[in-house]
């Protein structure tokens, strides 16, 4: 006959089983709250990072408008080569 190890094996006293169940429930609830707080912390870090990047982009946009150079003509400058450099 197949016996269930959970219901048939009652060698431990009732208070040990109760204590085991209570500790398991406390750990389960603690894990749930830890997951919630970890999610909130990651969301706050992500939002602050996005705000920081937005602020840096805004600051760069404000300062770069007066420092932009538009190149319309350019001239290529070639370094004069020594006579021995042409072989390479």
Residue 71 lies in a domain: no
Residue 73 lies in a domain: no
Predicted structure pTM score: 0.50
Residue 41 lies in a domain: yes
How far apart CA 88 and CA 41 sit, in angstroms, is 60
Residue 23 lies in a domain: no
pLDDT digits (tens, 9 = 90+) for 46-80: 999 999 999 999 888 877 665 667 778 888 888 78
> How much helix, strand and coil, in percent to the nearest 5, is found in the chain?
65, 0, 35
Which domain range does residue 54 map to?
Answer: 33-61
Q: How many domains does the chain have?
A: 1
Structure confidence at residue 8 (pLDDT): 54
How far apart CA 53 and CA 21 sit, in angstroms, is 48
Closest CA to 64 of 72, 54, 56: 56
């Amino acid at each position: 006959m197949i016996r269930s190890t959970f219901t048939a094996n009652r060698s431990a006293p009732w208070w040990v089983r109760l204590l085991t169940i209570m500790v398991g429930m406390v750990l389960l609830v603690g894990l749930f709250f830890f997951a919630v707080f970890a999610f909130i912390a990651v969301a706050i870090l992500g939002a602050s990072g996005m705000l920081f990047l937005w602020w840096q982009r805004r600051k760069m946009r404000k300062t770069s408008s007066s420092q932009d150079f538009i190149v319309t003509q350019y001239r290529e400058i070639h370094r004069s080569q020594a006579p021995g450099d042409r072989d390479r």
